[in-house]
Amino acid sequence: MSLGWDVYSCRVDGKPAVITLDLDLQDVADSGTHPQRLHVRHALRSPRENGLPDGTENDQMYALQDALVESLGAEVRAIYLACLTNDGHREHFFHLPPRADGRAVVAKVESALGDYELATFTEDDPEWRYYHEFLWPDTRSMQYLMDRRVVQSLAENGDKHSVPRPVDHVVGLPDEARARTMLVDAQAAGFTGRVEKRNGQWMVHLERTDAVELDYIHGVVWELHEMAERLGGYYDGWGCVISS
């Protein structure tokens, strides 16, 4: 399943950060064709007190991003990974083939646009560790992204998120005993449900009436995630009917 691009908030060095990331690069990362990582960084002109942009320079920053992606892709076959905004700066990340001179391309973009002074940094990273270990969202952030996508899909179909309705959840457990323990734990939190074995996996199907406003339903999901994790299981997703 393609995950595409997404954006999430986190903290970097103790300060607010926003990371926009291509979530579909796992296969490319494993191919070994682009072992060199390139960073392109510039200061924000008018950051807010929290170090994030105030919105007044969005056009210039997007123009720079487009120029970097187009030029590096065309001239050195660079792959664009992500963009990080944090502590009054924006940083773009690329992976390049061996011996590709990405810095020369960046210098041409800087000269052509003239909006920002660009700092560059390159490092050998054949295993794409920076992508996997720093840029990739942690488990909770990834779950939040998935929950947000479900809520956005509901919104596109006219859903009123504040209306409580039955919400279905599925959890996978290693064996029947732990699946039944999961069901008991969830029932104590107000869920109803059943246990079934499907394709050799023990699954717990749960239901509870809830609103689906993003932060609220994410809290519900994370509670079930933690229940399942304590039992060696995993949270498998949720869904509901549209309420309009």
User: Given strand 15-22, what is the order of strands in its sheet?
Assistant: 5-12, 15-22, 79-86, 89-96, 36-43, 119-124
Domains 5-135 and 139-240 share a fold: yes
Q: Which fold has domain 5-135?
A: Alpha-Beta Plaits (3.30.70)
- pLDDT digit string, tens, across residues 159-204: 999 999 999 999 999 999 999 999 999 999 999 999 999 888 999 9
The Cα–Cα gap between 80 and 101 comes to 15
Amino acid 114: pLDDT = 87
Q: Which residues pair with 165 in a beta bridge?
A: 210
Ordered by start, the domain boundaries in the chain are 5-135, 139-240
Q: Is 201 helix (H, G, I), strand (E, B) or coil?
A: strand
**Residues whose CB is less than 8 angstroms from the CB of residue 112 and which lie 6 or more positions away in sequence, other chains included:** 67
| Digit-coded pLDDT (tens) for 80-139 | 999 999 999 999 999 999 999 999 999 999 999 988 999 999 999 999 999 999 999 999
Specify the pLDDT at position 202: 97
Q: Does domain 139-240 have CATH number 3.40.50.300?
A: no
> Which pLDDT band holds residue 150 (cuts at 50, 70, 90)?
very high
Cα 128 to chain center, whole Å? 17
Q: Quick one: what percent of the chain has pLDDT higher than 70?
A: 100
Instruction: Report how far residue 38's alpha carbon sits from residue 101's, in angstroms, rounded to the nearest whole number.
Output: 10
Residue 31 is predicted with a pLDDT of 87
pLDDT value at residue 123: 96
pTM above 0.75, yes or no: yes
How big is the CA angle at 140 (ends 138 and 145), to the nearest 5 degrees?
95
Q: Which residues, 6+ apart, have CB-to-CB distance to 136 below 8 Å?
A: 21
Alpha helix ranges (H) inside 8-128: 26-31, 58-76, 102-113
Mean of pLDDT over the chain: 96
Give me the pLDDT at residue 244, please.
86
Which residues have CB under 8 Å from 20's CB, separation 6+?
Answer: 5, 6, 7, 82, 83
CB 233 within 8 A of CB 172: yes
Work out the average pLDDT over 11-30: 94
Residue 1 has pLDDT above 80, yes or no: no
